[in-house]
Chains A and B, each alone.
Chain A
Amino acid sequence: MTKVLESRGLNKSFGAVTAAADINVSIEQDSVVGLIGSNGAGKTTFINLVTGYLQPTSGSIHYLDRDITGLTPRQITRLGICRSFQIPQLFQSLTVQENLHVGVGIAARTHPQAGAAIADEQQEIQTLIERFNLRGYRSQLASQLPEGVRKLLDIAMAVAGRPNVLMLDEPTSGVSADEKFRLMDMVMQALKAQGVTVLFVEHDMDIVERYTHRVLAFYEGRIIADGEPAAVLKDAEVRKYVIGDTHAGAH
């Protein structure tokens, strides 16, 4: 297995608060990794550091053996690391179709390998609309979409960049319980088509268990557990600090 993404001694602190403490992870190509942890544990911070929204206080980030520390989100995106957002970041005054058109258009013009991959923009948009089941909303304004669909579109936008590494920040937050799996199925289906490494932040442990090969558990900016989902989810510390199981100590 080739490692695609690696962080070495990553630290980030806002004044007194430590959002990331000495994080060392390396992610293998085509793996699906779940990031778990209570709010403020450092999951989103990790994504923000990798994608260049935040600059680390110390440490470095490497992508395919290239140091990408200090690059801007734009540069990192162009290299093939795309992300979605906890709060969907859409073009509110544009339709679903136009949103994707903008996304695909940029990708085709700015991302080296995506540019090569995308032959026909309209075709690409069509494919995305099909895969994410957005046909019914095609010409609706993003501002008028139901929350679940907004999530889908937000992810579709990230996928439009033909990413090599895709980071999803709470893809199922704000989505009704019964819809969560349908959504995740759809996303994973869509991704199967193109070999993609996926990291996603998730609070629902069933989802984590079902979709991931590997889980990183965050607590106060540190990674307190890293491994097979089953193993990690059994880990006492994880049960105590992440899942919030009060009887954890008794076992």
Chain B
Amino acid sequence: MQEVLAILIDGITYASWLFIIAVGLTLVYGVMKILNVAHGSLYALGAYAATSLGGYWLAHGYPPVGTYGMLALAAIAVGLVAGPLIERGLLRRMYGNEEVVLVLITYAVFLILEDLSKLLWGVDPLSIPEPYSLLGNFEIGGLVYPNYNLLLLAVSLLVGAALALVLNGTRQGKILQAVIHDREMSAAVGINVSRVYLVTFTVGAMLAAMGGALTAPSIAVQPGISADTIVLAFAVVVIGGLGSLGGAALGAVLVGLVRAWAVHKWPEVELFSVYAVMALVLILRPKGLFAVPEARKI
């Protein structure tokens, strides 16, 4: 019983972390049909920026509470700088290429950013633990958990709700869905697709960076975190169905729970539990749980 509870809590915590990272990826794919490998690098940049800004804040003796602001600032800054730079500077010239070519382009960006962040921040693990410990803990079923996990959960719920609202509740959202459904059509009816792309990619970058910034307090930020994260995020969005918001959420929860279960019950398989789930889901539902359907006229 106690163990089941632990599995649930650990799984959900992991899921909320996964979701924040995956949701940006699935959004960008849904709108732009780009599976963005550099999403992992943006995640890393967010984490690095968070350690720098947070460190700067504390170094000046400002109240530690402010570090949360720094985390947010890091996410926004990275998103606003890297997003437009990559979309306008690079991807824009590449639309119309095959999906794989676009994937490869983002893979190149990933390699470049990997070394760039190394040049900017060095190779030593960096950390900004204050926000993690600051909120204190809660105890349940004999297990102590940091309240920071609750914050993580809250943020991911907020992000999910906000996106769902924008997509379904606002005019911009409707436009976005029009683009998702049919690029040519929406261009024909006078939607400024190029601007939609710019905004979407920037938001995606921001979400990736936010994932990094929110993770930074609980990990050591160092080279390699981007690669480890991106494949995981891929798995989540593919399981959920590329381009589907609800899918990303469900995928994250599924992966989170399975992994937590494996850790508690069967540690040997933890290593590839995620990929096993991904393979299984794809076998049962070839386009993921919530595939976005495409009709074909002949």
Contact = CB atoms under 8 A, between A and B. Distances in A.
Contacts of B298: 48, 53, 85-87, 89
B297 interface: yes
A89 B298 CA distance: 8
A87 B298 CA distance: 6
Interface in B178-235: none
A87 B296 CA distance: 11
Contacts of A87: 297-298
Contacts of A53: 298
Nearest to A89: B298
A48 B298 CA distance: 9
Contacts of B297: 87
B96 to A, nearest CB: 15
A84 to B, nearest CB: 10
Interface string A124-155: 00000000000000000000000000000000
Contacts, number: 7
Interface string A66-91: 00000000000000000001110100
Main secondary structure of the interface of A (DSSP, over half): loop
Interface in A71-122: 85-87, 89
Interface residues of B, number: 2
Contacts of A86: 298
A101 to B, nearest CB: 23
A59 B108 CA distance: 55
Interface string A47-63: 01000010000000000
A87 B297 CA distance: 8
A53 B298 CA distance: 10
Nearest to B297: A87
B101 to A, nearest CB: 16
A137 B297 CA distance: 27
A86 B297 CA distance: 9
A57 B120 CA distance: 64
A109 B173 CA distance: 52
A86 B298 CA distance: 6
Contacts of A48: 298
Nearest to B298: A85
A130 B298 CA distance: 27
Nearest to A47: B298
A97 B297 CA distance: 26
Nearest to A86: B298
A48 B297 CA distance: 11
Contacts of A85: 298
Nearest to A53: B298
A130 to B, nearest CB: 28
A85 B297 CA distance: 10
A48 to B, nearest CB: 8
Interface string B279-298: 00000000000000000011
Contacts of A89: 298
A202 B298 CA distance: 16
Interface string A2-32: 0000000000000000000000000000000
A116 to B, nearest CB: 30
Interface in B28-86: none
Nearest to A48: B298
A53 B295 CA distance: 13
A53 B296 CA distance: 11
Interface string B108-129: 0000000000000000000000
A228 B297 CA distance: 31
Nearest to A88: B298
B182 to A, nearest CB: 16
B114 to A, nearest CB: 36
A15 B297 CA distance: 18
Interface of A: 48, 53, 85-87, 89
**4 closest pairs, A vs B, by CB?**
A85-B298, A87-B298, A89-B298, A87-B297
7 contacts: A48-B298, A53-B298, A85-B298, A86-B298, A87-B297, A87-B298, A89-B298
